[in-house]
A and B are shown apart, each in its own frame.
Chain A
Amino acid sequence: MFRQISRAAVLCLAVQAALGAPLGAQEGPCSTAKTVEECFEEGYRSVSGTSVRVMAEKADSQVRTAVTSSVSDASTQGASLSNFLSPFLALVDSGELGDEGERIAIEVAAKVLDDLDKDTKLQVVFNEPEIFSPLRMRLADSMMTATLDRLERSVGDGDDLTVNLSWSPVNDRFGRSMEHHRPTLRQLFEPVVEGAFQSASLADKRLPTALLISLQQQCPDPQDSSALSFACLSAEQRGQVFQAGKALGEQNETIKRAVSDASLFQLGKLLNNQPQIIATASYRARDDIAGPDETFIKVTYEQGIVNLNSLRKACSGRADLLACYSAYVGNEQRGASIAAGNRIAFSLEYSDTADYSISFDPIAMDGSAFTFKQPGARSLMASLTYGRYLWVRGADSARVDLSLMFDQVDNESGSTSGPIAATMRQDRFLGSLTYTQKLNDKTGAVLGLTWANKPEFLGDVEEKLGARAGLTYKILGGGGS
C-alpha cells in the first residue's frame, strides 16, 4: 500500500517534469543569482522533514568527534556503560570516578607501549613522584626536616609508575561496534531501501536527464554545477532544477518512511544493548619513599535485555531476515523493553595496597633508628545494577536505577611503628535507588536514596533520613548540587 502510493506520487512528479509542465517554473523560487547547486538544495529542502535540522547539529557533532577518550577509558565502547553507571557511582561515593580523575591529573607522561590487539590495551603511566604523604607528615611531626629535604631530592622519574592493562572484546557477540554487524544490516536494509529506490526509478532517470540536456545545450562550456549560474537557463528550466532537488528530497522521505516502517532505526538500540565486558587491571609500583605498591582489578559486564544477539538467536535459520526482524521487534513486550532501555550490569572490583615499612639509619632526634610502618588494605566489591527508562520524549527522559553493592574491606590494624597486628574485616551492604531526570542533552537532575547496613558507611548525603538511609540530589550540567 505504502509503495503504491509512493510510486503514484513520484510518477506524477516525473511526468510533470518530463512534459515541461509549468508547475516547476511557478514553484521554483530559484533566482538567476543562484547556482544550479544552490537551487537544487532549495528544491531538496522544500520537502518537509529533510535534513535542515541535522545540518544545525553539525558543529556540535564535530566538537564531540574532536574529543579524545581519556587514557583511563578501557575503550570508547565503554562510554555507554559509564553513562549508565555514573549516577549510581556518584551517589554511593565509591570513589571510582574521583580516583580516575586524580590519576589523570597527576600524570606527567603516558606512553602506550603496545596495542596487543584491538581489544587489549597496555599502557604505562609515569606519575609525578612525591614522598609518601603519611611518611612526609610523620617526618615533619618528628622535626626531621633535613631528612625530609634529602628525601625530596632523592625522588626521581620512574619512582612512581602505573601499568594499566585493559581488555574489552568487540566482535559480533560483545561490544558495540556496528562494523561487526554489517552483514546483518545489509540483509535488513537492502530490500527496504532498494524497494524505495525502485518505486522512484522513473523520476531518478528522467529528472537528471532533463537537467543535463538543458545545461549542456544552452550553457557555455559548463564543467560543474557549483560555478554554473542560472543566467543561461529559462525560468522553466530553473524550475526543472528545483524539481530535481525536490524529487531527491521526496525520495529521501520515501526511504526514511520505509526504513522507519520496517523499524530499522531500532537497530542502533539493539546494538547499544549488546553485552559488554570491560576488564581492567593496574599495578602501581612505587619506590619505598613514594609509597606502597597497589594492585587494582575490575571486571564489568553490562547488557540490555533485547539485543542483536537475541535477535540472531530468534531468527537463526530464517531465510527472510527482514520479516523475522519486524516480527521480533514488533512484539509488544520486546518493543516495550527496547523503549524502556532495560539493562543490567554487574561489576567485581578488587584492590590491594601492600604493607608499607621503611627504616632509616639512626638519624632521629634521639639517635634511634627511624621506622615508619603502615598496614596494607584489601577490598573486594561486587555490585549489581538494574536500570530502565520510565519514559522518553525527545531529549527529555526519566530513568530509574536500582543497585545493590557488597563491599568487604580487610584492614590490618597496627601502629605505625610497631609490628603489624591482626586483620580487621568489615563487610558492608549498600543499596541505592536513583532517579535521573534528563531535560536535554546537557542538563538534568539526579535524585537518589541510599541505604547502608551500617550507618558509618552511608557516605555523603544531603539529607539524612535515618541512621542508615540518606537522600542525595544533584543538578547535572548546572554547576553542582
Chain B
Amino acid sequence: MAENRLISWFTVPDGSTQRIQVSGSDANFQATAIEVVEPGDSRPLDHDVLVAGTSQVLESPKSYSTMITVSFLGDQPTTITVAASVTKPDGTAFGAPREPHVVAGKVGDQDSALVLAATIKSEGGN
C-alpha cells in the first residue's frame, strides 16, 4: 500500500498550478512548511496558509519541493491530511488523482511529508 508521504509529479507542463492543503480532525496541531524552488529561492509557509490551502503556478524548467512538518499537540489522536494536486493550464488535472497523505498522532508526535513537482522535461519526453 502506498503511504503517500511523497506526493510527486514529473514533466509537469509550464504554467500548471500546484495546490497543497493541510487539514486536521481537530485544531490540536501546528503545521509548518518550506517551499524550495530550484533554481530560485525558498519561502516558509505557515499554519494558516497551509490550512487555508496554498497554490503555486509552476514555471519551466524548475522543481518545487515543499516539505511539510506537523507537530501534534493534543492528548487525543488527531488525524492530519496532506492533500495536493496539479492542474494543467487548461484547467484539467495533470496525472492520475493522488491519494492524500493521512497520519494520526498525539502530543509528542511529529510527522513530515514531501510534495514535489518538476517541470523539467526528460530528454525525448513530452
Whether A265 pairs with B123 at a CB distance below 8 angstroms is: no
Interface check A204, CB cutoff 8 A: yes
Give Cα A197 to B44, complex, Å: 10
Distance between A339 CB and nearest chain B CB, rounded to angstroms: 13
Interface size on B, residues (CB 8 A): 63
- Within B4-55, which residues are at the interface with A (CB < 8 Å)? 4-11, 25-30, 32, 34, 36, 38, 42, 44, 46-48
Q: Residues of B contacting A259 with CB < 8 Å?
A: 71, 110
- Kindly supply a per-residue 1/0 record for chain A positions 128-143, scoring 1 wherever the CB is within 8 Å of any chain B CB and 0 otherwise: 0000000000000000
- Within A253-268, which residues are at the interface with B (CB < 8 Å)? 253, 255-256, 259-260, 264-265, 267-268
- Within A222-237, which residues are at the interface with B (CB < 8 Å)? 222-227
Interface check B69, CB cutoff 8 A: yes
Distance between B16 CB and nearest chain A CB, rounded to angstroms: 12
User: Main SS of chain A's interface residues?
Assistant: helix
Give Cα A44 to B109, complex, Å: 15
Give Cα A87 to B72, complex, Å: 28
* Stretch of A18-26, A102-110, A212-220 contacting B (4+ beta carbons < 8 Å): A212-220
Q: Residues of A contacting B25 with CB < 8 Å?
A: 61-62, 65
Distance between B65 CB and nearest chain A CB, rounded to angstroms: 5
Q: Residues of A contacting B29 with CB < 8 Å?
A: 178
- Kindly supply a per-residue 1/0 record for chain B positions 105-123, scoring 1 wherever the CB is within 8 Å of any chain A CB and 0 otherwise: 1111111101010101111
Give Cα A264 to B47, complex, Å: 15
Interface check B90, CB cutoff 8 A: no
Q: Residues of A contacting B65 with CB < 8 Å?
A: 204-205, 208
CB closest chain-A residue, reference B25:
A65
With A37-B3, A61-B77, A216-B121 known as contacts, the answer to whether A225 contacts B63 (CB < 8 A) is: no
With A216-B121, A226-B2, A245-B6 known as contacts, the answer to whether A58 contacts B126 (CB < 8 A) is: no
Among B3, B46, B106, B125, the residue within 8 A (CB) of A216 is: B125
Distance between B28 CB and nearest chain A CB, rounded to angstroms: 5
* Stretch of A5-13, A184-192, A347-355, A363-371 contacting B (4+ beta carbons < 8 Å): A184-192
Among B9, B28, B32, B121, the residue within 8 A (CB) of A178 is: B28
Give Cα A58 to B44, complex, Å: 28
Give Cα A40 to B114, complex, Å: 10
Give Cα A197 to B125, complex, Å: 34
With A185-B47, A189-B71 known as contacts, the answer to whether A62 contacts B79 (CB < 8 A) is: yes
Interface check A194, CB cutoff 8 A: yes
CB closest chain-A residue, reference B126:
A221
Interface check A99, CB cutoff 8 A: no
Q: Residues of A contacting B74 with CB < 8 Å?
A: 268
Interface check A193, CB cutoff 8 A: yes
Whether A41 pairs with B10 at a CB distance below 8 angstroms is: no
Distance between B45 CB and nearest chain A CB, rounded to angstroms: 11
Give Cα A50 to B103, complex, Å: 11
Interface check A252, CB cutoff 8 A: yes
Q: Residues of A contacting B26 with CB < 8 Å?
A: 65, 178
Give Cα A60 to B2, complex, Å: 20
Whether B32 pairs with A190 at a CB distance below 8 angstroms is: yes
Give Cα A226 to B75, complex, Å: 33
Interface check A38, CB cutoff 8 A: yes
Whether A222 pairs with B73 at a CB distance below 8 angstroms is: no
Q: Residues of A contacting B42 with CB < 8 Å?
A: 201
Whether B32 pairs with A208 at a CB distance below 8 angstroms is: no
- Kindly supply a per-residue 1/0 record for chain B positions 60-80, scoring 1 wherever the CB is within 8 Å of any chain A CB and 0 otherwise: 000101010101111111110
With A55-B103, A62-B79, A215-B10 known as contacts, the answer to whether A226 contacts B44 (CB < 8 A) is: no
Whether A182 pairs with B47 at a CB distance below 8 angstroms is: yes
Interface check B89, CB cutoff 8 A: no
Distance between A193 CB and nearest chain B CB, rounded to angstroms: 4
Whether A179 pairs with B73 at a CB distance below 8 angstroms is: no
Give Cα A197 to B114, complex, Å: 13
Distance between A326 CB and nearest chain B CB, rounded to angstroms: 16
Whether B8 pairs with A224 at a CB distance below 8 angstroms is: yes
Which residues from chain A sit less than 8 Å from chain B, CB to CB? 35-38, 40-41, 44, 50-51, 53-55, 57-58, 60-62, 64-65, 177-179, 182, 185-186, 189-190, 193-194, 197, 201, 204-205, 208-209, 212, 215-219, 221-227, 245, 248-249, 251-253, 255-256, 259-260, 264-265, 267-269, 271-272
11 A-B residue pairs with CB within 8 Å = A38-B3, A40-B114, A41-B5, A41-B6, A178-B28, A182-B48, A185-B30, A226-B98, A227-B96, A245-B5, A264-B30
In the complex, besides A61-B77, A178-B26, A212-B120, 14 extra interface pairs with C-beta distance below 8 angstroms are A44-B5, A51-B110, A62-B25, A177-B27, A178-B28, A179-B27, A197-B32, A204-B67, A208-B36, A212-B10, A216-B11, A259-B71, A265-B107, A265-B108
Which residues from chain B sit less than 8 Å from chain A, CB to CB? 2-11, 25-30, 32, 34, 36, 38, 42, 44, 46-48, 63, 65, 67, 69, 71-79, 94-96, 98-99, 102-112, 114, 116, 118, 120-123, 125-126
